[in-house]
Structures are given as structure tokens and as C-alpha cells.
Chain A
Amino acid sequence: MKINGVAIVDTFAEAFTMRVARLVITGRTAKWAREAATKLTGFATSVIGCKCEAGIERELTAAETPDGRPGISVLFLTMDKTSLPEQLIVRVGQTVLTCPTTACFDGLPDAPDRLAVGKALRVFGDGFQASKVIGGKRYWRLPVMEGEFLVEETFGMLKGVGGGNFLILAADADAALAAAEAAVAAMTSLPGVILPFPGGVVRSGSKVGSKRYKSLVATTNDPFDPTLRAITQTELPEGVNSVLEIVLDGTDAPSIEAAMRAGISAACRPGVNSITAANFGGKLGPHHFHLRKIMSGVGA
């Protein structure tokens, strides 16, 4: 299968079930909502080192937020039920509570599993906090030096999908980067999906474990490293001199599929040799995103 002359390898991306929460952060201006969201989702690229994965889903207009102010929708994922509230409490407490003018709302109100994030954060109020029930939802008002921080008592948690991916194999680093940027632009703001890595792109894709260091859980993906082509069992076709990976997390598999379709279509451009994906033989993750199936009907 080829799209715009770019080969789509007959393989699949292997992804995992994760726990996901959606936070809606609002501010007096979009700038302040974004400041908080950027800090909240900082250092949250991979559960391997960050214990969580997070990213900005999209910007929200004033008409889309509970308090009629500009906002940002954020997705937040961890591997298990226990660590999601732990991470949220620490991070919201340090990055949203501290940020001028912001408020923090649940973006998954219909999810039956509830995480008591605002309920835990309320004690920052040192007994001066107060709660309000509005429209059946409880909110906590925390007095702060600026005025008040408003946070919803509970946040919904769903089973999400983490680790959707595709690799862009290109003739050179410039072509790989241009294709990756095009893919990210096409996927940005699609509902239910985040790209947790810097600018949405990963240059250091990893393999499981290490050939040399027993204690490491992930090390460089040497079959896809062009500089190691001559001394390792390479997976790179001839003419490929640079590889970039796009990693996607989302609320559900269809959202990931839709985003991969948009991203791969955009990445199929001059200078790109092929698009492939990372997997573990299908033994580790329950979600398999077959590239050719996803791209069927997009164009040969």
C-alpha cells in the first residue's frame, strides 16, 4: 500500500489500556488557562519516567466551558486506577491552584468512576474552605491570596488507550521533521486524543529492556537508529537516514484511529520513504492499530 508514493508497512501499533481523566481549566484569559495547562502537562511524556502521560486536547471557547471563560481541555493518563488520583492531586495542586485566575472542572461528567481530586485539595484551605453544590455537582472554594480557587470535587475516570503510534521513516532529518510537523498539525485538537511528547514528536523511540544494562526498562530502539545500521539488526530500508515517531494517547480506540488516519495522511509527503509502527509482537497491549486497515480508503 502506498499513499503519495509513501509505503505503508503491513504492521500494527500496539497500545495499552490506561486510565484517563479529562480536566477543563479556565482562566480570566486564554493565556492564563494555557499557562496552567502547560505546567500541568509538563514532564508527562511517558509513564516510563514520568508516571503519567498528559497533554492539551484542545482550546475551548468561552461558550464551551462551565464558567463562560476561555479554557483548555487536558487529558491525563496513568497505567492504573490508584496512581491517577495521586498524580492529579499533586499536579493540580502545584500547577492549577497556584496559577492566577484559573478554575478546574471535570471534563468527564458521565464517567461513573470518580476521583476525589477537589475533595483532597480542599484541605489547602486550612478549614476556611467552603463547598457549593450547583446543578447537582459539588465544588470546593479554596481561599487564596488572589481571591478564590474553584475546583470540582470529583473528576471522572475512564479506561483509555495509551501508546498508539506510528514511525516516519525519511530520507533525511529535515524531511522527517517536516512530515512529523505536518502530522502533528493534522492531529492537533482532534477530540479525545493527545500527543504527550514535545511538539507531539518523539526522536528517541525505545525498545523494551536493555542488551547491556539489566536494570533499565527501556533503551534506544537500535533497529530504527540510522547511525547503528551497520552494527545492529536494522529495520531501516535503504535510503532512510532519519526516523521520528508520533505517540498518541486517547479516551478510546476510535479516537486514536481517527487521529492516526489524519496524521499518517499528512505525513505522506516528499522525502518520506515509509510509515511503520512499533509493537511488541502483539503480546503486551490489547489494542492493535493496523496501519493498512486504518488507511484503507484514504488513497493509494
Chain B
Amino acid sequence: MSDAVTLSLGARPEHVLVADCIAADRFAGLDAKQIAALPVVHGGRPGTLGEFFKIRGERSSVVRIEGDLAQVDAIGAGMTGGELTIDGSVGRDLGLAMSGGRIDVRGNAGDNAGGALPGAARGMTGGEIIVRGNVGDEAGARMRRGMIAVTGDGGRGTGEGMIAGTVVVFGKAGPGAGRFLKRGSIVALGKIERPATFRYACTYRPPHVNLLLRYLRTDAGIPVTDRHTAGRYERYSGDLAELGKGEILQWAGE
């Protein structure tokens, strides 16, 4: 057992590398050989993790990944616990349908971060995803529980079809954010293009946003300012074409 497992990507993969075997909790019971033997799909062809990554450490649920991972998809898929830190940008399907633990990306993430498997009703059902950069489209789509924090911009359809949970976007959120939201919160510190099916409720200081942003500052080290933690937010209820119990909270100043 070691303090952490470190995966270092060798050369950038020629094709998309689907590495849904990488999950912090999964590595807790595996030695380095077993980790190296985990299956991946490269350009539609089967392979092993060890063919692409140099592996250091074993039997730990604290995992660090290094390298240019923009072509690597589905990291942290189905993760149930542990800590996964990624030094660099990643591909699509980050934390797909995960249910626990924390994924911390020091770069950008592709589409469908924290989203659902194709055809599945639910996306992530727990845990935290922190992206210290931008995310692609549909981050948190069909999310049931958990939290996604994006320090950069969100793509189209951020939080689309959320059932519950929280998505925080520090930059601007693309069009269609919160569309088909049943419950759950999208906290927008920057600009957000709200669907027409959201209705203004009030401007107030939501106590849970204060708590959440403080948590991100102290626990995740995100530099959240006091004007955001203690600020006023416009509350828009929606999606009124759905259950309507969700909300977009848009920062409105100090």
C-alpha cells in the first residue's frame, strides 16, 4: 500500500482513449500490476492501462494523473469514493455517473462531465467534481446528487435535465443552462443565458450559497471572494416546463 497511485501518461494517444477503468476507489484494492492490466479502449480497439500510463504506487484511493489527457475520456466513471487529481485537461465523460469521492481537474474538461451513460435516466448521484478551467457542453446533465464546480466557463446545456444537486459556474454559462431542470441549483457567478421557462422569484442572500462557496474556498482552495460568498443573488425558479422546483441563482452584486 502506498500514499497515492500516480499515473503518468506517456505519449499523447493517437486516437480517443476511453479509460473508464480509472477511478480512485477501484485502485484501493489493486497492486500496480493489476492496475496496469485494467482494460481501456483506444480508437475502438481494446488495450490495457499499462500500455499508455506509467504507474507508480498501489492500493490507494488517492490517485494522481499527469500528462496531456485531452484525448482521454471517461476518467472517474462510476467512481464511488476516494480522491482523483488530474494535472491537466481531460476529455469527455469525466466522472460519468459517479456516486462519491472527489475529482479535481487542474485544467479543462470535455463534454458531459458528471453526466449520464447513454440512455440512462441519471447522471452523477454523489461526490464532487472540481474543474479549474472550462467544461464542455452538458456538464452535470441529469445529475441526481452531488456537486460540480467550474472555475471557468460552462458550455451549452450546463445542468440540463438535473434532478437534484448543484452546479457552480464561476465564469459564463452557455445557452440552455438548466433546461428541463426538475430540482437542483445552478449557481452562476458570471453571465448565464437562462431558458425562457425560468421565472424570476426574488433577490436575496441565499445562506446555502454562502456555505457552499466557503466550503469550496477552504476545502478545495478555490479563490472565492467575499463579495460572492456574502453577495446577493437573483433567484429564478424553473424549469417551469418540468417540475419547476429547481433554481438558477445568479450573482447580483454585493
Contacts and interface: CB of A to CB of B under 8 A. Distances in A.
A133 B145 contact: yes
Given A67-B214, A135-B215, A150 B208 contact: yes
Contacts of A134: 147, 208, 211-212, 215
B245 A150 contact: no
B205 A130 contact: no
Given A141-B206, A150-B207, 4 more contacts: A132-B208, A133-B145, A134-B208, A134-B212
Interface residues of B, number: 22
Q: Which of A128, A130, A132 has the most CB of B within 10 A?
A: A132
Nearest to B185: A132
Contacts of A150: 207-208, 211
Interface in B155-189: 166, 183, 185
B145 A148 contact: no
Contact of B204 (A135, A139, A147): A147
Interface of A: 66-68, 103, 128, 130, 132-135, 139, 141, 147-150
Nearest to A150: B207
A135 B219 contact: yes
Contacts of A135: 215, 219
B89 interface: no
B205 A147 contact: yes
Interface string B203-246: 01111101110110001000000000110000000000000010
A68 B231 CA distance: 13
Contacts of B147: 133-134
B206 A148 contact: yes
A113 B214 CA distance: 27
22 contacts: A66-B211, A67-B207, A67-B210, A67-B211, A68-B214, A68-B229, A130-B183, A132-B166, A132-B208, A133-B145, A133-B147, A134-B212, A134-B215, A135-B219, A141-B206, A141-B208, A147-B204, A147-B205, A147-B207, A148-B204, A149-B207, A150-B207
B30 to A, nearest CB: 25
Contacts of A68: 210, 214, 229-230
Contacts of A148: 204, 206-208
Contacts of B146: 133
Contacts of A103: 207
B250 to A, nearest CB: 16
Interface string B62-105: 00000000000000000000000000000000000000000000
Nearest to B183: A130
A130 B207 contact: no
Contacts of B166: 132
Nearest to A131: B164
Q: Which 9 residue pairs across A and B have the least CB separation, nearest first? A: A150-B207, A147-B204, A132-B208, A135-B215, A134-B212, A103-B207, A134-B215, A67-B211, A67-B210
Nearest to A68: B214
A225 B103 CA distance: 68
Nearest to B229: A68
Nearest to B245: A130
Q: Which of A66, A128, A130 has the most CB of B within 10 A?
A: A130
Contacts of A147: 202, 204-207
A99 to B, nearest CB: 13
B98 to A, nearest CB: 14
A129 to B, nearest CB: 10
A130 B201 CA distance: 16
Nearest to A66: B211
Contacts of A133: 126, 145-147
B124 to A, nearest CB: 12
B184 to A, nearest CB: 9
Nearest to B100: A136
A133 B145 CA distance: 8
A112 to B, nearest CB: 20
A260 to B, nearest CB: 37
Interface in B114-131: 126
Nearest to A26: B207
A39 B210 CA distance: 25
A223 to B, nearest CB: 52
Q: Which of A67, A103, A133, A147 has the most CB of B within 10 A?
A: A133
